[in-house]
Amino acid sequence: MSRPIDQALCRRGFLALLAAGGLLACAAPAPAAGAAPAQGQRGVLSAPLPVSKQEVALTFDDGPSPGATPQILELLESHGAHATFFVLGTELERFPGLGAEEARTGNEVADHGMTHKSLPGLSRARMLYELRATADLIQELTGKPPAFARPPYGNINQRVLKAALSLHMSVALWSTDTRDWQTPGAATIARRALQGLAPGQIVLMHDGGGPRRQTVQAVREILDALDARGYKAVTLAQLVQDAKPSVARHRPPAAAVGMALGTRTSPEV
Ligand SMILES: [Zn+2]
């Protein structure tokens, strides 16, 4: 099953945010009309983080899957690189060994919900179930609760943010979308990942939800290219940690921090 993801949300590139208390943003454009201010709460990671090191975060959604996850883990390990896997609860139940392996090899396991349902339209109870059941599975398998949630399709609203926050997770989208679910060829996926390569990018790919052979091949090319350009692939948690000092020094004016909510333009994912 192919899982296209909300493009508009990504393009909007609005605010960033977050993590352990700091609500700060990046070079984000003005928030969308009617957007709610993000001040005073954790926000959404959706733009490159202000890191001074040559680091990027590769992120993989919809897994784990036996057709792609082990190969990606092997490639990461062979490059001394790490990534963040936004797992689906249903897939984690099917392939718990892969989830455990992600954590064992130093990668980050994060929450993509149980059943890949778009969260904003769900009842609070169902929304919480989607996020909490997956978080519980992650904790069980890895011994560590997830720090980040990525709502399916990138669909978010205030309720989703509140639900994630109540479960001690920050919401993380992406700054670079490879659209690998379109299976445009490994070279195209790699080119999209590396286009505009800059410190702090959060790159979206998929290790589940459909045939991912092209993605695996692209990861090989991406990691080689990152090595050649002196970049390191790190977990999202690492990227946030490395961004903090910079974020603290360059706090933008409040008006530059905003959040677009309830955006949804993508059809099926
Ligand atoms: Zn997904």
3-class DSSP assignment, residue 137: helix
| Gap from CA of 209 to ligand 1 centroid (Å) | 8
Question: What six digits make up the tokens of 6?
Answer: 């909300």
Q: Choosing from 6, 61, 111, 207, which is the catalytic residue?
A: 61
Q: What is the rounded average pLDDT of the residues 199-211?
A: 97
Ligand 1 centroid–CA 151 distance in Å is 8
Distance (Å, whole) CA 142 – CA 172: 20
Residues bordering ligand 1, an ion, CB closer than 5 Å? 3, 61-62, 152
In the reported structure, the alpha carbon of residue 93 is separated from the centroid of ligand 1 by a whole-number distance in angstroms of: 16
Write the DSSP string, 59-122: EEES---TTTHHHHHHHHHHTT---EEEE-HHHHHH-HHHHHHHHHTT-EEEE--SS---STTS
Between the CA of 195 and the centroid of ligand 1 the distance, in Å, is 22
| 61 classed as catalytic | yes
pLDDT for the residue numbered 264: 31
Looking at residue 244, what is its pLDDT? 72
Residue 165 pLDDT exceeds 60? yes
Q: What are the pLDDT digits (tens) for 104-155?
A: 999 999 999 999 999 999 999 999 999 999 999 999 999 999 999 999 999 9
Predicted structure pTM score: 0.80
Q: How far is CA 130 from the centre of its chain?
A: 17
Q: Answer whether residue 97 shows pLDDT above 90.
A: yes
Domain chopping of the chain, boundaries: 7-256
Q: What is the pLDDT of residue 43?
A: 73
Distance from Cα 254 to the centre of ligand 1, integer Å: 31
Tens digit of pLDDT for each residue in 40-90? 235 799 999 999 999 999 999 999 999 999 999 999 999 999 999 999 999
Pick the catalytic residue: 116, 206, 207, 242? 206
Q: From the CA of 211, how far away is ligand 1's center (Å)?
A: 14
* Separation of CA 253 and ligand 1 centre (Å): 33
Tell me if residue 198 falls in helix, strand or coil.
coil
pLDDT for 189 equals 98
- Domain spanning 7-256: CATH 3.20.20.370: yes
